[in-house]
Structure 1
Amino acid sequence: MTPPLTHVIAPGLAPDLLLRQIYLNVRDFAIFTIDAQGEVTSWNLGAELVFGYTPAEIIGQSSALLYTAGDQADGEPFQEMTLAARGERAADNRWHLRKDQSVFWADGVLTAIRDDQGQLIGYLKILRDITERKLAQDEIRRLATIDGLTGLANRAAFDTRRSEMVSQAERNGQLLLLLMIDLDEFKEVNDGLGHQAGDQLLRQAAQRIRTASRESDYIARLGGDEFGLLHLHPPSPASGGVLAEKLLQHLARPFQIGDCEVRISARIGIAVCPSDADTPDTLLKKADLALYHAKNAGRNRYHYYTEELDQLAHRKNTDHNELRRVLRTGDYWLEYQPILATDGHTIAMEALLRLPDFFGQQPVDYVIGLAGELGLLPELGKGVMRVACAQLRRWYDAGVTGLRICVNTCAKELLDDSYLAQLDAALVEFGLAAGDVELELTERDAIKLERSGSRVIEQLRERGFMLSLDDFGTGYSSLSYLRALPVNTIKLDKSFLHDVPGNPDGNAVVCTVIQLAQNLRLNVIAEGVENIDQSAFLAGAGCTAFQGFLYSPSLDADAATRWLRQGATP
């Protein structure tokens, strides 16, 4: 039972006078009461000053108005009342909401109010605004984790984050890469130009590491000229080599330190969790060993901890360099494979990228992937489009009519901001119309574009370009997407033709797909046609065009020109 006020108030001080003083004069503390349902029943001057509501505006309103939307959604007002009703002191430190919707940090306490019989009749809340203290404490904590020179995380924060990310990777079955980065020639700059120049170099190097990395990567300066980078959930361990190569390129560019141009290089060690190590300290040790290996191998190098990954990464590094050379010199060419209508005349030529023998038996898709990793897809795509359009122009000038050129593309290329402008420029340069060019992309890429919210496919259709789904049936194979994707044609993948027409089940699948495409007013091109029986079956099923070795392999430009002049004979 609550003791009478005469037991807790000094003699001679009337309770109503005391309450009046508290409610009218206390300015530093918000003091208010709420009923058992959480509605405000009284409101002091301090509450008005802190929250911005006058008593007339807030009394009778739910006290939940004073909590942030997140706390309201989590039921914090009710939980506080429940805790106080059990006789416990419901203390809290949280963000609260003012009338103008700004927030402030407060510490407060909610206690139950009971009548003389001990029945709950409401609650008393007392709190104060301690935002300045909170922000000061947060800044102190932040500074304790930040390297003051570069603004990156410091060694202590990196050690903590490394432990967290190793645990996260283990729980979720994800990969985690640790890259240890050491700058070369830093001591020479520091000794030769002074510590101030060395500090500028470190700040600029830190910024370049940030620029080359993903936003989700965690980067720290570990001391001196050494940095650490945690790369969570990469597609594969090989992503570490791609990132390391990018970092080395960024750090190898000249630095402007005052009036001096400074050149440095770097070395990088890479360890993979969990294959190399599954504990934070062991992962660090393995990355350090890989860095030691890189230092012994020479400047501007990176190495993995494991030999197998190291060999794979350095093979890819060599391929990257070769692809850069190929694009720089234009040392690639196109071959052309005819696409024939049912009456046997050639209606299109598919342009196929061909590369020097250096890439051996690697498929073109591998090289496209390399270009994507290096950010060179727009450059490669622009070059291929220009070569293809130039060849079509030569065929037109030679009197060939009714022919279009088919060029493969992908989502990453189509999403480049310059793609449409480069395509338009190629048409203008070679005097072609949009309908002369058909763009081929796979189901997977088309759906990726559709899900990204990009309108590039619609914009291409609006310009008059033909669009086809290449290798149909090997990607998502979701026939429902045919209704949503604005394409003209599907190219039935050669895998559909296995055992056709000898296999009744295979025949049924092919006929169903062709019938569906016809119902959706789409053309169907069969790829990989290799024998007369397949050709006859497909024509009977309603296929509108054919492509494959039965008619012609891919041809170099001269052979393709002879094919077109002769009608259908290479």
Structure 2
Amino acid sequence: MTPHLTTVISPGLAPDILLRQIYLNVRDFAIFTADTQGMVTSWNIGAELIFGYAPNEIIGFSMARLFTAADQAEGQHWHEMEQAEQCDRAADYRWHLRKDHSMFWADGVMTPIQGDHGQPIGYLKILRDITERKLAQDEIRRLATIDALTGLANRAAFDTRRMEMVSLAERTGQLLLLLMIDLDQFKEVNDVLGHQAGDQLLQQVAQRIRDISRESDYIARLGGDEFALLHLYAPSPTSGGVLAEKLLAALVQPFMIDGREVKISASIGIAVCPVDATSADSLLKKADLALYYAKNAGRNRYHYYTQALDDVAHRKNADHTELRRLLLGRRCDLAYQPILDQAGHTISMEALLRLPGYLGRQPVEYAIGLAGEMGVLPELGNLVVRIAFAQLRLWRDAGLTGVRICINTCAKELRDAGYLRQLDAALEEHGLDAGDIEIELTERDAIELERNGSKVIEQLRARGFMVSLDDFGTGYSSLSYLRTLPVNTIKLDKSFLHGVPVSDDANAVVKMVIRLAQDLRLNVIAEGVESTEQAVFLGDAGCHAFQGYLYTPALAASEATAWLHDHAMA
């Protein structure tokens, strides 16, 4: 039990006089009492000065209003009273709320006021405002983890985060890339221009690394001219090479230091967790070794720790360079594969991307993936649209009027804000109508757009474009989406034709899909038709449009023109 007040007061000083002096004159400490319901029952001058409430504004009200909104939601004042009752005291070291809603950091204590029978009849709270001390301590802690020159994390913070992120990657099964970045020719800058210029250069380098990296990347200056970047949730190991290429391109650009142009470069070593290492220390050692390889190979380059990854990444980045060169020179071409009706008339031509050289020998999906990684997919798509529309215009001018053009696209391209504008501009440029064009995308991409709430397919339909689902049946559980997806046509994937017409099971599946499409008022095109028997079966099942090697492979523009003269509708 707390001692009675008279046992701790000099016999010459009455308790009420002492309390009055405390409440009227102690200004550096807030002193107040509350009843067992948390209602404030007394309030000293210090409390008035610290919290901003006059006694008549707070006495009789809950002390909960002195706590932040988050602490109020958690009932923090009740927890404090419970702890004080159970332990005879409760520490209060937290943010509190003033009358004007500003916050301050308090250091305080609450104790119970005991009644005659040992039960609390209220609580005494004493606290002080130590915000300046708190902020100073926070700044000391921040400075302990921050590189003062660049504002990046320092070596100590990097070591801690590296261990945390390796553990996280191990738990989640995600890839973690460590890029060690070392500046080339930095010593010459210091020797020629002085250390102050070197410091300015390091600050600008840090900013360029920030600009290139993702918000979720962790960047640190480890000391001198060495930086590190932790890249979690990488889609593949080769994405480290993509990031390294961007960093190298940014750091090789001239820096302006005190009105002088300064040129440097960088070398980058990359290690991958868990491919190269599964511990934080091992990952660092292998990234350092990869950096050593990059330095020895001539600088201004990156190197992976694993040779196989290094080969793949450098091949991919060479392909990035080649694709960028092709786009700059508009050196893309298109081939055209006819889609025919049962009478053998061509109703549309599917435009297919063709690239020269090494990229042209790879599956077209590879080039599309490269364009997505580089952020040039809209540019590539716009080039395809303009070439295809120009060709359709030539066919129309030649009197071949009964054919549409089919353009392949994907969800990433359709999400681009300028996609519809580019289509509209291309239509106007070539004097075409939206009804002359069919937009093809895979069912996977269509469903992705639907799930993400995109309305671009509806907007295409509203403009008058035809929309078809390509490779139908190879992705999601598509049948449940057919009812809601705003498309005109499904293209039955060629995998459905395996076994047709000799396999009863294969035949039954094809008939079922065609019948469902008809019930939903959708057109059906069969892809990959290779035999007359397949074509006859499909026609009998209700499919009235066909595409495949039975008729012709994709044709160059001149060959496609000749084909249309022979197979277009009169």
- Shared fold by TM > 0.5? yes
CA contact (8 A) 1:2 1:116 kept: no
Displacement of 1:254: 2.3
Please name the residue that 2:514 is paired with: 514
Deviation per residue, 1:433-483 (Å, 9 max, x gap): 222222222233233333444443333333332222222222222433334
SS of corresponding position for 2:267: strand
- Counterpart of 2:136 in structure 1 is 136
**Alpha-carbon shift at residue 361 of structure 1 (Å):** 4.3
In structure 2, C-alpha distance between the alignment counterparts of 1:43 and 1:32, rounded to whole Å: 5
Amino acid at match of 2:396: Y
Which residue number in structure 1 is paired with residue 259 of structure 2?
A: 259
Matches within 5 A, 1:410-559: 410-559=410-559
In structure 2, stretches of 5+ residues that fail to align are: none
**In 2, Cα distance between the equivalents of 1:76 and 1:240?**
47
Paired residue type of 2:389? C
Deviations 1:287-325 (A, max 9, x none): 111000011111221111111111111221222222122
Q: Is the 8 A contact 1:93 1:108 kept in 2?
A: yes
Match of 1:195 in 2: 195
- The two structures, once aligned, show a CA RMSD in angstroms of 2.5
Q: In 1, are the aligned partners of 2:347 and 2:568 still within 8 Å (CA)? A: no
CA contact (8 A) 1:443 1:477 kept: no
Once residues 162 and 544 of structure 1 are traced to their aligned partners in structure 2, the CA distance between those partners, rounded to angstroms, is 60
Q: CA offset at residue 57 of structure 1? A: 4.7
Residue 318 of structure 1 aligns with an amino acid whose one-letter code is: A
**Residue matched to 2:30:** 30
Letter in 2 for 1:71: D
Per-residue Cα deviation, 1:347-393 (whole angstroms, up to 9, x for no partner): 22111111123136421111111111112212211111111111111
Distance, in Å, in 1 between the alignment partners of 2:408 and 2:75 is 54
**Range that drifts further, 288-297 or 125-134:** 125-134
Contact 1:458/1:486 (<8 A) preserved: yes
Distance 1:287 1:317 in 2: 19
1:82 aligned residue: 82
Q: Which amino acid aligns with 2:141?
A: R
Answer yes or no: is the 8 Å Cα contact 1:221–1:227 preserved in 2: yes
Listed as ranges, the matches of 1:49-88 within 5 Å are 49-88=49-88
* TM-score using structure 1 length: 0.92
> Counterparts of 1:478 and 1:502 in 2: how far apart (Å)?
26
Cα distance between partner residues in 2 of 1:101 and 1:537: 77
Q: Which amino acid aligns with 1:390?
A: A
Correspondence list, 1:51-450, <5 A: 51-359=51-359, 361-450=361-450
Q: Secondary structure of the residue that 1:233 maps to in structure 2?
A: strand
What are the Cα deviations for residues 193-220 of structure 1, in whole angstroms up to 9, with x where unaligned?
A: 3333322222222111111111111111
How has the CA–CA distance of structure 1 residues 349 and 8 changed in structure 2, closer, same or farther, with 3 Å as cutoff? same
Work out whether residues 378 and 413 of structure 2, in 8 Å CA contact, stay in contact via their aligned partners in 1: yes
Amino acid at match of 2:372: G
Deviation at 1:74, TM superposition (A): 4.3
Matches within 5 A, 1:10-25: 10-25=10-25
Q: Which amino acid aligns with 1:249?
A: A
Answer yes or no: is the 8 Å Cα contact 2:403–2:568 preserved in 1.
no
Letter in 1 for 2:93: N
1:129/1:405 CA distance change after superposition, 3 Å: farther
Give structure 1 regions of 4+ aligned residues with deviation exceeding 6 angstroms: none
Distance 2:470 2:435 in 1: 18
Distance 2:111 2:94 in 1: 17
Deviations 1:382-418 (A, max 9, x none): 1111111111111111112232211111222222333
Q: CA, structure 1 residues 326+118, in 2 after alignment: closer, same or farther (shift >3 Å)?
A: same
1:212-269: CA deviation from partner (whole Å, max 9, x where unpaired):
1111111111122211111112112111111111111111222233433332221110
Aligned partner of residue 371 in structure 2, secondary structure: helix
Unmatched 5+ stretches in structure 1: none
Partner SS for 1:365: helix
**Distance (whole Å) between structure 1 residues aligned to residue 19 and residue 342 of structure 2:** 97
Residues 1:158 and 1:355: Cα distance change in structure 2 (over 3 Å): same
Q: Work out the percentage of aligned pairs sharing the same amino acid.
A: 75
CA distance, structure 2, for counterparts of residue 172 and residue 88 of structure 1 = 45
State the aligned residue count: 569
